[in-house]
Structure 1
Amino acid sequence: MAAGTLAVGMRPEVKGMLLTLLAMGLFGTMDALSKALVTAYPAPLVLWLRHLAAVPIVLLILAPRRPLALARSRRPWLQLLRTAILVVEMGLALLAFRYMALAEVHSILAVTPLLATALSVPLLGERVGWRRWLAVAIGFLGVLVILRPGLAVIQPAALIALAATGLYAIYNVMTRHVGLIDRPETSFLWQIVGGALLLCLVGPFYWEPLEPVHWVMVVALAAAGAAGHYCLVRALGLAPIVVVQPFTYTLLVWAVVIGYLVFGNLPDLYTVAGAAMIVVAGSYAAWREHVRGARAARSSGENG
């Protein structure tokens, strides 16, 4: 009773933070299961089965909101392209997970918000001030610290992770665009159901019989992914991105903890230092975006 009363009286921003933390924990669990499965089976098969198992879960989550009504998009081809980019990105990330530690992959993927900021200029026509450009530069410097070009041979898996980061940044920019014309639940439905349909064109060609325990892992993987994405969608509906984004970096903590407990991997000092640079730069960029938006809102109110 007290817990329920506390939840009701909680500020939306605090609920958004807690939902983001929960989403990152679910994503960390999802990635650990993905890494375990992809070492035994082809990545396209794991991705296909994950999406197939997620479809009934997502439909159940969205059942009270009438999924058929939510599926109607004002830009269906844009939603389909966004979903296709996400599917390819996830496939590349799974490949990277096979050969690299979870913390190493996520440290590279953490630069996504900064890369999305840079891409928003040519793709969305947004203006980015020198402070956010500086944050972008520091974030990319953090990636260079992780990769250490010139000091070590860059492993191909790191390049795969970089390619996944680029695609994920494009996906984020497109999500920001479709968010202006479609509801978040519509985008969520498209990326799960649309992704499953697209993967039906590829996944069956990689079919291998799974062990019974691996079927359980596939269902758990799908449930964790669907629940995590839904929590993040709800969090962004309750709190501004400047509040939510810093908490998304807790996924790095989950990656380190799970990577050590399950796979015995610990990040080296370069990875920790580079990841810290990316987190600081990304959080600052999100704060500057909030400041810019607040100023624009005040200016609009004064002019009105």
Structure 2
Amino acid sequence: MSQQNTRLGVTLMIAASFVFAAQDGLSRHLATEYNVFMVVMIRYWFFAAFVVAVAARKAGGVRAAAATSQPLIQAIRALLLIVEVCVMVIAFVVLGLIESHAVFTSYPLVIAALSGPLLGEKVGPWRWAAIGVGFIGVLVILQPGMGVFSPAALIPLTSAVLFALYGLLTRYAAQRDSAATSFFWTGTVGAVGMTVVGVWFWEPMTGPDWVWMGVLCVSGATGHYLLIRCYDVAEASAVQPFAYLQLVFATVIAMAVFGETLEANVAIGVVIVVGAGLFTLYRERIARRLPGAG
């Protein structure tokens, strides 16, 4: 572990959030022109190469990174994530970046809600209250029962639930495996899983779009590298709130590049969801310091 430097960690998290937002914009562009499975497959090929390269530089190399006593859990994690990524990219195409990200910001609340029944973690009344308020924010975004409500809005909500399950399995796997091992399995098994599906949807790509695909792949590796460095120099609880800036960056990209608009109900709902999420992170930090607090 490097020496703790919270300011540097925050800077790295903000940079990673911007890179991932740009990656989402590129994913939306490419998935509008080509099959989603093919786009995600090529992205995962580069991700797997990056993961292997990182593992090779660590002590023990690839063999040490791949070693696990729970291969089934690790494989399920990786496969859950590729499904989540595909669903989210479909949401970008169908709904756009703003509404998709607005709904997806609820995933920390889903993690908090499911951590009790699935992992046996104690969730106190304060966090349950925050979870309830957060899902009111999601309802404000979705506007169920209103004439403008579209069932397609459930696509990013499905993605949020899948990502929450992936996060919970990551917590479970972390009880016996290192972060390096989980990262290795995420990239390699994910690439294999996407290849099994994506190779059947191959389409010829134009020269300019191959350039954009290259930028997409490099941005993914860059974002993950920034996250690795971030968590290496600062506590996750100190930098995690700044991950919400990805929504801000994605909104700016959506409005500037794709001509999307930020509706009032989405803005209000996002404020509620993000506020609830930040409060949940705050109470979780207190609970770690004072066992029994919720």
* Normalised-by-shorter TM-score class: over 0.9
Structure 1 residue 177 displacement after superposition:
1.3
> Structure 2: how far apart are the matches of 1:67 and 1:172?
23
Structure 1 residue 84 displacement after superposition:
0.7
> Structure 2: how far apart are the matches of 1:97 and 1:261?
15
User: Are residue 122 (structure 1) and residue 107 (structure 2) matched?
Assistant: no
User: Are residue 283 (structure 1) and residue 249 (structure 2) matched?
Assistant: no
On the 8 A contact 1:41/1:208 being kept in 2, the answer is yes
Aligned to 1:230: 225
User: Are residue 111 (structure 1) and residue 106 (structure 2) matched?
Assistant: yes
Matching residue within 14, 19, 31 for 1:26: 19
In the comparison of the two structures, how many residue pairs are matched?
A: 289
> Structure 2: how far apart are the matches of 1:252 and 1:80?
29
Matching residue within 9, 20, 25 for 1:16: 9
On the 8 A contact 1:16/1:239 being kept in 2, the answer is yes
Aligned to 1:43: 36
Aligned to 2:50: 57
Structure 1 residue 226 displacement after superposition:
2.3
The DSSP-based 3-state class of the residue aligned with 2:290 is helix
The amino acid that maps onto 1:186 is T
* Aligned-residue CA RMSD (Å): 1.7
Deviations 1:40-69 (A, max 9, x none): 011111111111122223333343112332
Structure 1 residue 190 displacement after superposition:
1.2
On the 8 A contact 2:55/2:62 being kept in 1, the answer is yes
Judged with a 3 Å threshold, the aligned counterparts in structure 2 of structure 1 residues 77 and 162 are, in CA distance, closer, same or farther, namely same
User: Are residue 215 (structure 1) and residue 201 (structure 2) matched?
Assistant: no
On the 8 A contact 1:53/1:218 being kept in 2, the answer is no
Structure 1 residue 222 displacement after superposition:
1.7
Matching residue within 125, 136, 139 for 1:141: 136
Show structure 1 runs of 5+ residues with no match. 1-7, 298-304
> Structure 2: how far apart are the matches of 1:295 and 1:119?
21
> Structure 2: how far apart are the matches of 1:165 and 1:283?
17
On the 8 A contact 2:4/2:234 being kept in 1, the answer is no
Aligned to 2:287: 292
Of residues 62-71 and 18-27 in structure 1, the stretch that sits farther from structure 2 once superposed is 62-71
On the 8 A contact 2:41/2:198 being kept in 1, the answer is yes
Of residues 217-226 and 258-267 in structure 1, the stretch that sits farther from structure 2 once superposed is 217-226
Alignment TM-score, normalising by the size of structure 2: 0.93
The DSSP-based 3-state class of the residue aligned with 2:112 is helix
Aligned to 2:265: 270
Aligned to 1:72: 67
On the 8 A contact 2:142/2:149 being kept in 1, the answer is yes
Show structure 2 runs of 5+ residues with no match. none
On the 8 A contact 2:4/2:233 being kept in 1, the answer is no
Deviations 1:83-109 (A, max 9, x none): 111111111001100011212111111
> Structure 1: how far apart are the matches of 2:244 and 2:55?
27
Aligned to 2:153: 158
The amino acid that maps onto 2:9 is G
Of residues 173-182 and 77-86 in structure 1, the stretch that sits farther from structure 2 once superposed is 173-182
> Structure 2: how far apart are the matches of 1:152 and 1:227?
42
> Structure 1: how far apart are the matches of 2:151 and 2:54?
38
On the 8 A contact 1:139/1:278 being kept in 2, the answer is yes
Matches within 5 A, 1:162-241: 162-241=157-236
Of residues 138-147 and 67-76 in structure 1, the stretch that sits farther from structure 2 once superposed is 67-76
The amino acid that maps onto 1:111 is S
Deviations 1:184-235 (A, max 9, x none): 1211121111111011111111111111122222222122122212322332
